Structure 1
Amino acid sequence: MTDITAAIDPKLFRQLLGCFPTGVAVITTTTADGKPVGLTCNSFSSVSLEPPLVLFSLRKASSLLGSFVAAERFAINILSQSQDALSGRFASSKIADKFEGVDWAPGPLGTPLIDDCLASFECRVHARHEAGDHDIFIGEVRHMGTGSSEHALVFYKGAYMMLAESLRKQVLEGRLDTPAIDEAYRALYGTLLRLACERASGAEVDAIEAATDEIERHQGLLAAPQRIEALARFFSSIAQAGHNEALRLMAQTMTAVLRERLLHVTPSIPRPDVFPLRREVVRCLRDRDADGATAALDELIATLRRDTPE
């Protein structure tokens, strides 16, 4: 349970917000000289049916804030699963002209509508409110349309849900073999352990040790669900301690793979023989011994692949 007397940690706040799946949209408008501009957004939401109102929020630090403040209209383009590349394009700060090579056309209100989206809403600006480090734009829908019949592009816990579902399917169908998964764990978590030895706080190492305690506490056959969750926390705590957002998102995917394998492919069984190896990982983290931590991880993975001892 979160301590209500403690300050809200921005990283944890963002992580927990990611537990709520959202659709992905590209919000578009035109500048004063008629140039189309847009950005990726997952803060789109409905507000009212009568009148038909929707909203999205935009960071005050966004380079496009001035364009949207000056515009009288904007459009919401709801992306499909096959448009994940568009999501990345309109989210990138390295691409100057987001519309270059993108198929689009002006809608009835003159706002840029991207081809083949699931749905589009052209809006007249109804209100704008400042809210912390964002501005909230409320639009009155004046025109709407439908397009592709595909599934929506969904964002969940820092990744596209279609990726998570694809990995889950591959695991259940046995198309991800054990050596490949082990190699991925060694590469990803080996890197994260090295980063954690440099960057982890004492509290973050404590969290890894607490997950280790929890794994050892739930060793009965009937305690498999609790043991699986503790295993997931052990690895996710390592990812958190590495302080690298990109690698942490990759680790979330690997945690999903771990859960699916232990629940449906290779059932979790008690393994007290690996207790000392997890403890060694924690000890090396406290000592800032990166080589020792990665060696203990390698031995942990190798030992888990051996037959269960008598």
Structure 2
Amino acid sequence: MSELAEHVLPAIEPVLLRQLLGCFPTGVAVITTRSADGTPAGLTCNSFSSVSLEPPLVLFSLRKASRLLATFEGADGFAINILSEQQDALSGRFASSKIDNKFEGVAWREGPLGMPLIDDCLASFECSVFAAHEAGDHTIFIGQVRHMSGGASDQALVFYKGAYMMLAESLRKLVVQGELDTADIDEAYRTLYGTLLRLACERADDAELDAVQAAVDAIEAHPDDAPLKDRIASASTFFSAIAAAGHNGALTLMAQTMTTVLRERMTHVMPVRPRPDLYPLRRNIANSLRQRDADGATAALNELITQLRRG
């Protein structure tokens, strides 16, 4: 028996796995095909990858729970459309489960193989299906490139840690250069996290409430000489736990953006030192959440932000 097999390793936690995989920046593509009746179909994907040059093979993976799995399994080809940073709205459109006709209002053309090619993409690859393999909760589709074309000369749309890097980089510059007003940032925090706290009081389960409490405990456990990176990580975890407890995907994405603002302010703008005077306020937030007291939670948040500025 191998040395690795002799050790009992902890189970891989899916939420943490997703978070850590997000540390690897990926491009964003819309994968398109035709249904059996010829209707165009497509979805947003960041699992696209090159496989081989000889023969020219590429792949993407699709969740088995996807409504389009049967469509791609029944198709004899597909197209990879690489998005530019100007096409972030298209990424959201093709990722949405609430939009039935993803192609309505979208400029596209039929490629030589009959696959839908979206206009103004950085590059498009039309492929015939080379192989398909089941792998866990996904199916991996390998395609042989039969036709390809280049397009716009913009920068690529990049996904990193749950947000578009284009947005994160722009915010970073604004924060470091002092172009985001402190009062505006505070108002954004009160509005965004106040809403998430109210949603969390209605929707959070016990494990998510425990995660908020654990984040509070981690902040208080820092020694006075804790490294800045540890303080930033624990502060980010506290707000991320609140966002997760709110169960709203759009607001969670906004919260990830605000986490970028927080990280850059703590790194480049704000003096960071121990603040034991803030401990009771964070605990009030966690306790109010536990009691499903939305007014109490938002009041504690408002006081926390006020005291942060006074410090």
Give a deviation string over 1:213-240, Cα, whole Å, max 9, x none: 3333435366333222221122122222
Alignment of 1:110-129 (within 5 A): 110-129=114-133
Match of 1:268, SS state, is coil
**Aligned equivalents of 2:234 and 2:217: distance in 1?**
9
Alignment of 1:1-310 (within 5 A): 4-6=9-11, 8-218=12-222, 220=224, 223-306=227-310, 308=311
Query: Contact 1:218 / 1:224 at 8 angstroms: preserved in 2?
Result: no
Query: Contact 1:56 / 1:137 at 8 angstroms: preserved in 2?
Result: yes
**Aligned equivalents of 2:120 and 2:40: distance in 1?**
17
Percent of aligned positions with the same letter in both sequences? 72
Give a deviation string over 1:9-33, Cα, whole Å, max 9, x none: 4444434433332111111223344
**Aligned equivalents of 2:155 and 2:212: distance in 1?**
38
Amino acid paired to 1:282: A
**Aligned equivalents of 2:114 and 2:259: distance in 1?**
45
Match of 1:28, SS state, is strand
Q: Which runs of 5+ in 2 are unaligned?
A: 1-7
**Aligned equivalents of 1:230 and 1:126: distance in 2?**
46
**Aligned equivalents of 1:85 and 1:39: distance in 2?**
13
Query: Contact 1:197 / 1:285 at 8 angstroms: preserved in 2?
Result: yes
Match of 2:32, SS state, is strand
Shift in Å at residue 201 of structure 1?
4.1
**Aligned equivalents of 2:216 and 2:256: distance in 1?**
18
Distance 1:47 1:196, change over 3 A: same
**Aligned equivalents of 1:71 and 1:288: distance in 2?**
49
- After superposing the two structures, state which structure 1 stretch, 29-38 or 125-134, moved more: 29-38
Shift in Å at residue 258 of structure 1?
0.5
Query: Contact 1:171 / 1:260 at 8 angstroms: preserved in 2?
Result: yes
Distance 1:263 1:5, change over 3 A: closer
User: TM-score under structure 2 normalisation?
Assistant: 0.87
Distance 1:188 1:95, change over 3 A: closer
Match of 2:148, SS state, is strand
Task: Name 2:5's counterpart in structure 1.
Answer: none
Query: Contact 1:214 / 1:227 at 8 angstroms: preserved in 2?
Result: no
**Aligned equivalents of 1:61 and 1:209: distance in 2?**
33
**Aligned equivalents of 1:195 and 1:71: distance in 2?**
41
Distance 1:32 1:214, change over 3 A: closer
Query: Contact 1:219 / 1:227 at 8 angstroms: preserved in 2?
Result: no
Q: Aligned residues, how many?
A: 304
- After superposing the two structures, state which structure 1 stretch, 55-64 or 146-155, moved more: 55-64
**Aligned equivalents of 1:279 and 1:92: distance in 2?**
36
Query: Contact 1:196 / 1:285 at 8 angstroms: preserved in 2?
Result: yes
User: TM-score under structure 1 normalisation?
Assistant: 0.87
- After superposing the two structures, state which structure 1 stretch, 165-174 or 199-208, moved more: 199-208
**Aligned equivalents of 2:172 and 2:273: distance in 1?**
21
Distance 1:215 1:59, change over 3 A: closer
Distance 1:34 1:281, change over 3 A: closer
Amino acid paired to 2:160: Y
**Aligned equivalents of 1:87 and 1:209: distance in 2?**
35
Q: Which runs of 5+ in 1 are unaligned?
A: none
- After superposing the two structures, state which structure 1 stretch, 105-114 or 219-228, moved more: 219-228
Query: Contact 1:172 / 1:265 at 8 angstroms: preserved in 2?
Result: yes
**Aligned equivalents of 2:95 and 2:252: distance in 1?**
19
CA RMSD of aligned residues (A): 2.4
Query: Contact 1:232 / 1:255 at 8 angstroms: preserved in 2?
Result: yes
Give a deviation string over 1:178-201, Cα, whole Å, max 9, x none: 111111111222222233334444
